[in-house]
């Protein structure tokens, strides 16, 4: 039930602190990540993995793209992220030491199910990240790590997304532990970051009024661009997807570094651009590059909405609007930065009088190929 909320989506956006906290529960012991489902799957098998392929669609694929950075950094295993339907119908090279991880909120997405079955038929091991107990994809897989986001009713995925990233980070830290690739102190630091996420998301939920005003002001906008770099890149893609599906506005996400390779030609006076800005402390090498991207597009008349860390003074002179997120280590920023983008799409859809929970032409679960 919606309770007092205007939509299921509004309710689910607000439930994100719990979605993360519930996904962490029972998987952290004495400052270390021990995922019981993975121990059962076999720590020896995990120690022998040489490559990971993540298969998923839509928002779930963006959760995979975000987690790629963490898995490679902590566990030092190469990760490819593939759209399930693209993966299935080419001739992927897989072997017994390849681990396939599927991500699906519903666990019933036919494209992803077919990709998992195909990978298993070629000898790969398959782990599923799923939010629905007993769904088809986890039943077909060798192991499952359930996200505990609770039922997601709105077509637009929100709380499942942050729970998927959380589960993938738990996977990455478990893998790093069994492979001995991350010093104890580093593991403990990442665990502390994970445990702090629910409260930080709760803080970000406080930007609601600010975002609503922005959305009302922008309700006639015809196209919106999203820029991000490193883990901010998949968040830019997710922000654009949300806006397309909910507000029916043309939206595109770009890697900020790609701007000068083409997309900057799109910038004309008044063009709104959301920029996910990396932390000046945690990403000291990337922050100035993104600030310089902001300056370049600002000089061409773009209207900049920056999602930036509290206290980031460098963006202030160039951004028309700054939405602040709390301090977090770089890999954890996506879990915070995505929230205002979800809210923006939802509020813009509301401002246009659209059905937030059930956008046109879409189904919650896509059970045909």
- Please name which of 246, 19, 313 lies closest in space to residue 147, comparing C-alpha atoms: 19
Q: Does 141 bind ligand M6R (CB under 6 A)?
A: no
Residues 216-245, interacting with ligand M6R (CB under 6 A): 245
* Closer to ligand M6R by Cβ: residue 104 or 279: 104
- Please name which of 344, 338, 341, 302 lies closest in space to residue 215, comparing C-alpha atoms: 344
Angstrom distance (rounded) from CA 119 to CA 281: 41
Q: Does 65 bind ligand M6R (CB under 6 A)?
A: no
* Closer to ligand M6R by Cβ: residue 112 or 279: 112
C-beta of 37: minimal distance to ligand M6R in Å?
A: 19
Collapsing DSSP to helix, strand or coil, 32 comes out as strand
- 50 close to 98: Cβ distance less than 8 angstroms: yes
Which among 8-16, 22-30, 55-63, 260-268 is the span making contact with ligand M6R, rule CB under 6 A?
A: 55-63
Angstrom distance (rounded) from CA 91 to CA 53: 14
Cβ-count burial of 45 within 10 angstroms (0-12 exposed, 13-18 middle, 19+ buried)?
A: middle
User: Binding residue for ligand M6R (CB under 6 A) from 156, 170, 315, 323?
Assistant: 156
Return all residues near 366 (Cβ < 8 A) that are at least 6 apart: 57, 109, 110, 111
* Closer to ligand M6R by Cβ: residue 129 or 170: 129
Angstrom distance (rounded) from CA 72 to CA 52: 10
User: Binding residue for ligand M6R (CB under 6 A) from 155, 304, 339, 346?
Assistant: 155
Count of residues engaged in binding ligand M6R, rule: CB under 6 A:
15
Q: Does 342 bind ligand M6R (CB under 6 A)?
A: no
Is 364 annotated as catalytic? Answer: yes
User: Can you read off the two tokens belonging to residue 205?
Assistant: 């939920």
User: Binding residue for ligand M6R (CB under 6 A) from 66, 98, 109, 190?
Assistant: 109
Task: Given the residues 2, 73, 117, 364, select the one marked as catalytic.
Answer: 364
Residues 89-108, interacting with ligand M6R (CB under 6 A): 104-106
Which among 8-16, 149-157, 182-190, 263-271 is the span making contact with ligand M6R, rule CB under 6 A?
A: 149-157
C-beta of 366: minimal distance to ligand M6R in Å?
A: 5
| SS3 annotation, 277-312 | CCCCCCCCCCHHHHHHHHHHHHHCCCEEEEEEECCC
Element holding 98 (H helix, E strand): strand 98-104
C-beta of 333: minimal distance to ligand M6R in Å?
A: 20
Which among 154-162, 191-199, 248-256, 334-342 is the span making contact with ligand M6R, rule CB under 6 A?
A: 154-162
Collapsing DSSP to helix, strand or coil, 361 comes out as coil
Which among 11-19, 26-34, 54-62, 271-279 is the span making contact with ligand M6R, rule CB under 6 A?
A: 54-62
User: Can you read off the two tokens belonging to residue 86?
Assistant: 């693209």
Indicate which residues carry an active-site annotation.
Answer: 364
The residues of the shown chain that bind ligand M6R, judged by CB under 6 A, are 57-60, 104-106, 109, 112, 155-157, 245, 365-366
């Amino acid at each position: 039930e919606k309770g007092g909320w205007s939509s299921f989506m509004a309710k689910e956006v607000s439930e994100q602190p719990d979605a993360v906290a519930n996904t962490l529960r029972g998987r952290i012991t004495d400052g270390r990540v021990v995922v019981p489902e993975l121990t059962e799957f076999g720590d020896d098998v995990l120690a022998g993995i040489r490559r990971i392929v993540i298969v998923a669609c839509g928002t779930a694929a963006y959760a995979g793209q975000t987690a790629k950075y963490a898995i490679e950094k902590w566990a030092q295993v190469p990760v490819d992220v593939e759209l399930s339907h693209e993966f299935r119908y080419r001739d992927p090279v897989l072997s017994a030491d390849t681990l396939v991880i599927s991500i699906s909120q519903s666990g019933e997405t036919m494209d992803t199910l077919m990709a998992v079955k195909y990978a298993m038929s070629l000898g790969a091991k398959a782990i599923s990240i799923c939010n629905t107990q007993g769904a088809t994809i986890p039943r077909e897989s060798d192991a499952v790590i359930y996200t505990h986001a609770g039922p997601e009713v709105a077509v637009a995925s929100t709380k499942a997304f942050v729970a998927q990233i959380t589960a993938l980070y738990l996977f990455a830290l478990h893998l790093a532990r069994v492979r001995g690739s991350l010093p104890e102190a580093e593991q403990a630091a990442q665990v502390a970051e994970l445990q702090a996420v629910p409260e930080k998301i709760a803080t970000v939920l406080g930007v609601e009024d600010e975002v609503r005003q922005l959305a009302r002001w922008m309700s006639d906008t015809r196209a919106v661009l999203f820029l991000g770099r490193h883990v901010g890149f998949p968040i830019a893609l997710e922000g654009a997807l949300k806006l397309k599906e909910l507000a029916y506005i043309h939206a595109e996400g770009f890697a900020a570094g790609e701007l000068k390779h083409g997309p900057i030609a799109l910038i004309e006076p008044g063009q709104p651009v959301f920029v996910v800005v990396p932390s000046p402390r945690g990403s000291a090498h990337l922050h100035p590059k993104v600030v310089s991207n902001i300056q370049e597009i600002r000089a061409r008349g773009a209207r900049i909405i920056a999602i930036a860390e509290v206290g980031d003074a460098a963006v202030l002179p160039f951004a028309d609007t700054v939405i602040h997120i709390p301090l977090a280590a770089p890999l954890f920023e996506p879990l915070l930065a995505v929230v205002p983008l979800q809210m923006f799409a939802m509020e813009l859809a509301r401002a246009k009088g659209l059905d937030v929970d059930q956008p046109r032409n879409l189904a919650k679960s896509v059970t045909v190929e």
